[in-house]
Structure 1
Amino acid sequence: MNTDKTEIRVAILDLYDGIANEGMRGFRDILERYKVKHGLNLKYEIFDVRRKAQVPGLNFDAYISSGGPGSPLDSEGTEWEKKYFQLIDKLEAHNQSDDPQKKHVLFVCHSFQLMCRRYGLGDINLRRSASFGILPVHMTEAGTREPAFEGLAEPFYTVDSRSWQVINPNMDRFKELGMEILALEKERPYVDLPRALMAIRFNEYFIATQFHPEADAIGMKLLLQRGDKKDEVINEHGEGKYREMIERLEEPNKIAHTQNTIIPNFLDEAILKYSVMLSDSEGTIGR
């Protein structure tokens, strides 16, 4: 029996601009668990997009584009962003070709905002105050049918960490491009402000989340226990909200469930289904 497994390659686009973060560790941990669970010869490579203008080619099986600091507007016209969007153009062209293996991409937080600007999907602005915590996210009707959300409750809980937001969706543009809003931020009946978009299906192969599906309880606990972050949360939201965040970390149906659901579901669509199809036809896992 042929036990060789064709290498599966995942590109992680690091948009953190050298800023220390928990996001990249979260992506790596999820990929390592997924590799072991499915017995895959899976390897990943990290590209420093903003600091070094590094972007991958088309020789990867799936792509994950991270969050990052700063304004999603100020980078317009920079070298790194030009290269980044050139890659997106190439991926879109590939997916429109007759190549049977499509290239799936997950865009997270800062990447979500950049793509919303690229497509002209709504207003992008600075929030009155930063949103940070383990917060509920509400699925739209389209979200309840979304394969990446399969297994999530309504609402589901995840890590929301953003100073910028996408609001006031241009529904004519969504209709024109065939895109769907999958989720919105928590309901705030006491605040007369529009709800931010939290997840979008751009097309069959591109999905984006404003929240952080890679975040886990360990990373969040370390972050929240750091003196400066603890003070920041208490000053902004109060001690009660801080204690609530810590308590939510211990609940298995909150961010742990989200972390174990969305990205693995994305990888199932991006990698596993195609690999199983080739395994059935070729007797091996392949690309």
Structure 2
Amino acid sequence: MIQAQKPEIKVAILDLYDGIANEGMRGFREILDRYKVKNELNLSYEVFDVRKKVEMPSTNFDIYISSGGPGSPIDSEGTEWEKKYFQLLDKLEDHNLSNTAQKKYGFFVCHSFQLLCRKYQLGDINMRKSPSFGVLPIHKTGAALDELVFENLADPFYSVDSRLWQVINPDEKRFIELGMQLQAIEKERPYVDLPRAMMAIRFSEYFFSTQFHPEADAKGVKSLLLKEEKKNEVVSEHGIDKYNEMLERLEDPDKITHTQNTMIPNFLDQAILSLQEA
């Protein structure tokens, strides 16, 4: 009875996995379910299959979480689902630029990050020489010193990186022009003469995005790593020692478990506090 009297907070989860089995959607649901119980909120969420079924939410939600997904972030240009996806983002941005007190918040992960970087022309998008997969360090930039989404995260902090594509070579002029901030980059690799990928961007006061997977948890990654196909892929690419190190990092509560319990909840804190004050 008390719960029903609280103002409803509506979250849209945009599923960009194109029907491919994944751990990401479970991660988002579990974070939202835990957050709802912990904070005793009247929070509901609805999932939209953006790519496979061309499902798109209305602008009546308070918070939008957009997932990772398979395939090229370039080849979808001009498709029906992408046009509708970008139209939704444009509507949300227009809403946020209006005098309305209640703003719309968005969190965009991996494939969504890459699509937005292409939309805003923030850097170069290309395929990596080899897939990046594992529990890897993420380094904050100077712009992230006061970033609330990163509050209580070390520098570097650890999260799951899983991508074949990447966004590199930030266009600093474009960032300044649009008022956006590069918040994190991938680990330094002094022995590899390749640019470091952009890993987190604040697009606006209301939109935040990561090229890594802050929704990932140890259970999901471990089940993936233990599959013979994935194990062979990682060992072939990085060696057995690195594979065993990944498994060890999954057991460390200060690494991806801490990131999963911290980052998206920080974003939700920021969004929901703003909604409650409006």
Query: TM-score if structure 1 supplies the norm length?
Result: 0.95
Q: How much has 1:235 moved relative to structure 2?
A: 1.0
Query: CA 1:2/1:137 → structure 2, altered by over 3 Å: closer, same or farther?
Result: closer
Partners of 2:51 and 2:275 in 1: CA distance: 31
> SS in structure 1 opposite 2:153?
coil
Q: Which residue of 1 aligns with 2:273?
A: 272
**Code of the aligned partner of 1:93:** D
**Within the alignment, does 1:218 sit opposite 2:254 as a pair?**
no
**Code of the aligned partner of 1:240:** D
Partners of 2:105 and 2:57 in 1: CA distance: 14
Partners of 2:262 and 2:161 in 1: CA distance: 16
Q: Which residue of 2 aligns with 1:284?
A: none
Give structure 1 regions of 4+ aligned residues with deviation exceeding 3 angstroms.
none
Identity %: 70
> SS in structure 1 opposite 2:51?
helix
**Code of the aligned partner of 2:110:** C
**Code of the aligned partner of 2:147:** E
- Higher mean C-alpha displacement, 164-173 vs 1-10: 1-10
Q: Which residue of 1 aligns with 2:55?
A: 54
Q: Which residue of 1 aligns with 2:192?
A: 191
- Higher mean C-alpha displacement, 230-239 vs 210-219: 230-239
Partners of 2:78 and 2:67 in 1: CA distance: 20
Q: How much has 1:5 moved relative to structure 2?
A: 1.3
Q: How much has 1:2 moved relative to structure 2?
A: 6.8
Please give the per-residue CA displacement for 1:180-235, whole angstroms capped at 9, x wherever unaligned.
00000000001111100000001111111000000000111111111111111111
**Code of the aligned partner of 1:261:** T
Quote the RMSD (CA, aligned, Å).
1.2
Q: Which residue of 1 aligns with 2:37?
A: 36
**Within the alignment, does 1:151 sit opposite 2:152 as a pair?**
yes
Q: Which residue of 1 aligns with 2:177?
A: 176
Partners of 1:49 and 1:122 in 2: CA distance: 24
Partners of 1:174 and 1:196 in 2: CA distance: 15
Which segments of 5 or more consecutive residues in structure 1 lack a partner in the other structure?
279-287
User: 1:108-147 residue pairs with structure 2 within 5 A?
Assistant: 108-147=109-148
> SS in structure 1 opposite 2:52?
helix
Partners of 1:235 and 1:191 in 2: CA distance: 18
Partners of 2:137 and 2:67 in 1: CA distance: 21
| Counterpart contact for 2:168–2:198, Cα < 8 Å | yes
Partners of 1:191 and 1:202 in 2: CA distance: 29
Please give the per-residue CA displacement for 1:213-270, whole angstroms capped at 9, x wherever unaligned.
0000011111111111111111111100110000000101000010011100110111
- Higher mean C-alpha displacement, 231-240 vs 70-79: 231-240
Partners of 1:272 and 1:212 in 2: CA distance: 24
**Code of the aligned partner of 1:22:** E
Q: How much has 1:274 moved relative to structure 2?
A: 2.5
Q: How many residues align?
A: 277
Which segments of 5 or more consecutive residues in structure 2 lack a partner in the other structure?
none
**Within the alignment, does 1:253 sit opposite 2:254 as a pair?**
yes
Q: Which residue of 2 aligns with 1:12?
A: 13
Partners of 2:241 and 2:88 in 1: CA distance: 44
**Code of the aligned partner of 1:191:** V
**Code of the aligned partner of 1:140:** T
**Within the alignment, does 1:67 sit opposite 2:68 as a pair?**
yes
- Higher mean C-alpha displacement, 64-73 vs 137-146: 137-146
Partners of 1:203 and 1:160 in 2: CA distance: 23
Partners of 1:253 and 1:124 in 2: CA distance: 31
Partners of 1:251 and 1:241 in 2: CA distance: 15
Q: Which residue of 2 aligns with 1:285?
A: none
Partners of 1:209 and 1:259 in 2: CA distance: 13
Q: Which residue of 2 aligns with 1:86?
A: 87
> SS in structure 2 opposite 1:107?
strand
Query: TM-score if structure 2 supplies the norm length?
Result: 0.98
**Code of the aligned partner of 1:199:** A
